Each structure stands twice: as structure tokens, then as C-alpha cells.
Amino acid sequence: MKRQTFHYYTYVLLSLKDNKFYIGSTNNLKRRLTQHSHGLVEATKHRLPLKLIHYEYFISREDAEAREIFLKSGYGHKQIKAFLKTTLKQ
């Protein structure tokens, strides 16, 4: 019996309207980004356009969600800014 593999992602979007982050997690990154870009996500529909600036892949939903929670913290925001310093200057 073949074991089913699941994919989970934690992602960071940058609002080009207000220059703020949106951080989320999903099991289907492509679908979720389409939802964001079409204004179908309540939290981001007034912050369009959005740009995907970072994502991480996990095989565990719990790990992806834990990373999301961390990145939403003050220290997590500092880490994003330090890690993506060159990207955020563009």
C-alpha cells in the first residue's frame, strides 16, 4: 500500500499597497495564492496587490502552522525582515 504524501506550506505575502506582511499556511499554495490575488480572502482583499516573497514546505500540517504562528510574532517579523533584507529593498 502506497503511503499518501501531503504537502503543507507557510507563506509570506507583501502588500504592495501598505507594505505590510500577510502570513498564512495552506496545503495548496497555488490555489491559495489565486484566492488572495482575486480578492477572495477577507484578510487581504483590501490590500491588493500582493506579492509572494517567501514560502516554506513542510510534510506536517502541525509544523507549518507552528511556523506560521512564530512568523506572526514580533521576533518572527524581525526574522523575516532580516532574512529578506534584499527582497524588501526592491
Q: Which residues contact 30 (CB under 8 A, 6 or more apart)?
A: none
- Domain assignment of residue 80, yes or no: yes
What's the number of domains the chain is made of?
A: 1
C-beta separation of 44 from 36 below 8 A: yes
Q: Read off the CATH number of the domain in which 57 is found.
A: 3.40.1440.10
- Domain assignment of residue 84, yes or no: yes
Q: What are phi and psi of 32, to 5 degrees?
A: -65, -40
For 28-71, the pLDDT digits (tens) are 999 999 999 999 999 999 999 999 999 999 999 999 999 999 99
The verdict on pTM exceeding 0.95 is: no
Return the beta strands (E) in the chain as ranges.
8-15, 21-26, 50-58
* Domain hosting residue 43, numbered range: 8-89
- Total Cβ atoms within 10 A of residue 79: 13
C-alpha to C-alpha distance for 31 and 46, rounded to whole angstroms: 19
- Domain assignment of residue 1, yes or no: no
